[in-house]
Structure 1
């Protein structure tokens, strides 16, 4: 999309956000927007125009984990929980789409309300609780999505079913792995969401080693990554990074949401009223960069490190690449920036890379 057209659409979205979405329950607003995205591939004229202008810069492509990514920038897990909007999200310019978190067993997630905006902070608090239709249904959708020759790279993020005890987590993850790995370009093991009881305890080495070993073996040729929390101590980050390398995993995703609430502009009492959940968006940018640098220093240069957390602008993407990220993901800013977000980042990436090549 040309810069002028993109700015017009962006401005229009800003008006709609302030007038409509900001006054609507965040989860309802998400479902409305997601419905449009899902429908986009079925409107040939519109989808053709969108695809033409949103396409990532070829110069920004990278090959990692044996996979060619058309760009370094993609969509993090959490937006498309059930693998229902992959084609539409690819049309909007994301070079890869990580779906999920998907669990072996279908589950409704936590009680509503469970998603909250911190507009002044450009942030979200969520305690969704891995609401999804289960791995078997997602596998059928993924099988269909892979038939689309123009699809983005598809990552699949898997987590523990809430009804399964922590001591039985390995078998639960293995059920998801066997169903989903055949249709995933890569598999991400989520042991870091704060919204499933006991899940973050799986980041302790005595539980993480057997879990990752089992998933790695069951995934076959599908690359496996582990997604960690920003709330780990530096020593635990080093330990998990070392374990991932030792086990021959394909990479690490750094990082998930945080349970911290420091440095927010939103009034303390309003944040407290939101309750428990993971904080994402601009406030976690600094810690996410620290975690990224820590992980990169602990792993080989060719080890895939995916940076997530507080990414809004093209400069944010470049900052993560400069800090050692192989790939960069965003999510929260998508809700605030609107449908041309990835297009704008792609356009600015193209400009930066071509300027550097002169």
Structure 2
């Protein structure tokens, strides 16, 4: 039996229930993993609230780390006793132990702790596809990154620095801006205290940036488009403030023949070999010291509702994990 956090109805954090659930044995293409730590992400909040509807009841959670306890038929890249970490579907990481598909579970290097492994997979693989798989970005290019002091943002600041990319961040307090600067951002704008679009234009001599990476959504979308240079590229990869409302495609032409995409991590990692290679790329950044995983909040699994409240209130910095 494994202690597990589930929801039986969509809604607020109060929907969480802690239950004991039977784990079972892995079938073909599956593994059983005993978790050491579990990562917390905004997609978990979207699924809990119903923004991303799911069949209920269901456990939540998309990333974790732990030790492989059993391996199903056909699984060759993992064995019993291996350290492992993942960002993967279906949801179900908020538990002590689970059976799950093996394809997106990755061997975790000994040099990376279980806590860092749980905190880095979904966020770090997101940064990997943003910088390596979405549009060409080269040393000397300039990127605008919203929520630069969050879990994804702090990894992005360091990744950009290590690749010679100029990253301009935004955050909601001076302390968060300083955190982004400390992790490699070239500049960070406090969007609560100033007109961030105007400030961004000042920082780029009126030209705008090459790429915007925006996981905030509705609140920043229009300003993000206005921050791009002609022919610039907008990556809208999240909805922390709510989904982006419909807009006229002709707007992209009027604002300088802009390009836009709405990617998801799970499209990028759907192929087993691609996922494993992306993870190796991320692990190399971490083991080389180019990226350090910052965990600023730890909650016991039983306090998952409190953890969700903190995340949605934007009271967190860096990564948040659940301890099991």
TM over 0.5: no
More strand by share: 2
More helix by share: 1
TM-score by length of 2: 0.31
